[in-house]
């Protein structure tokens, strides 16, 4: 048993215009009494509008990335303070697509995490291995290294969520076995304990992310140390995301 509140976080990635906010309305209407914490992370263009639409509901809103500087000559970037000002409460950092497509390093993720915390945002820090790393039996070593390099020293259960996303499973329909998911989540918990102590390690939520869908969610959420999910494509539709939320509530 744990007092960690389950979290279902949806990452819309580069999807969604104002018309997509109707999905938000449907989600709020269907899950206003959920036991889990709900979060949607839309593109930056929708953060403020979504936050306004969700105000007073059970749904929180987050950003998908932020810069490590508060202001400056960084064309196309957004700061953590700007996300906070727009109504965000969380921000996803170090997603595998950012690490791969934008050459983000652990150090950059760490600096962004510092900025998020300074702005009062909860950071959802993503870690995970590629297929080559999994096949080379380097999964745990890779993730331990990412945790060591990507997290500042002031982590707490309030300001940090970890999301394990096996890179090879994202958007592919492939999912690790429950034993493989359990092994990684348990090792993440142990890694956090060695660095931050038992209290912090027990309080930090660890999400699974990698082709989570309504039809496999219950099995995944039954795994020890899985405190919820970071959901990609299935979070774009209220019906699909709602199925995942129901599975999480029943876990």
Q: Give me the numbers of helices (H) and strands (E) for the chain, helices first please.
A: 11, 8
Given 31, 44, 67, 95, which residue is catalytic? 95
Are 144 and 191 contacting, i.e. CB atoms less than 8 angstroms apart?
yes
Instruction: Spell out the domain ranges in the chain.
Output: 7-249
Q: Tell me, what's the pLDDT at 1? A: 38
Strand partners, 228: 7
Q: State the CATH class of domain 7-249.
A: alpha beta
d(CA 146, CA 113) in angstroms, rounded, equals 13
Q: Tell me, what's the pLDDT at 33? A: 85
The question of whether 158 is a catalytic residue gets the answer no
131-165 per-position pLDDT tens digit: 889 989 999 999 999 999 999 999 999 999 999 99
The question of whether 165 is a catalytic residue gets the answer yes
Express as a percent the part of the chain with pLDDT over 70. Answer: 99
Quote the pTM value. 0.96
Q: Tell me, what's the pLDDT at 2? A: 60
């Amino acid at each position: 048993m744990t007092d960690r509140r389950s979290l279902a976080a949806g990452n819309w990635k580069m999807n969604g215009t104002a018309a997509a906010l109707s999905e938000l309305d449907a989600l709020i209407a269907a899950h206003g009494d959920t036991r889990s914490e709900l979060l949607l992370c839309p593109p930056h263009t929708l953060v403020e509008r979504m936050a306004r639409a969700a105000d007073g509901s059970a749904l929180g809103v987050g950003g998908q990335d932020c810069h490590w500087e508060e202001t400056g000559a960084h064309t196309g970037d957004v700061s953590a303070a700007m996300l906070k000002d727009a109504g965000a409460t969380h921000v996803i950092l170090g997603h595998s697509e950012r690490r791969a497509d934008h050459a983000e390093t652990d150090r950059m993720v760490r600096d962004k995490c510092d900025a998020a915390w300074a702005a009062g945002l909860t950071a959802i820090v993503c870690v995970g291995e590629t297929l080559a790393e999994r096949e080379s039996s380097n999964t745990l070593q890779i993730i331990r290294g990412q945790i060591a390099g990507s997290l500042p020293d002031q982590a707490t259960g309030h300001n940090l969520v970890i999301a394990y996303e096996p890179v090879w499973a994202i958007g592919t329909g492939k999912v690790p076995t429950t034993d493989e998911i359990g092994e990684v989540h348990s090792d993440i918990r142990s890694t956090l304990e060695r660095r931050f102590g038992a209290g912090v390690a027990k309080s930090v939520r660890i999400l699974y992310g990698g082709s989570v869908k309504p039809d496999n969610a219950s099995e995944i959420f039954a795994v020890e140390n899985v405190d919820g999910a970071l959901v990609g494509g299935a979070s774009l539709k209220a019906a699909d995301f709602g199925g995942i939320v129901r599975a999480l509530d029943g876990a």
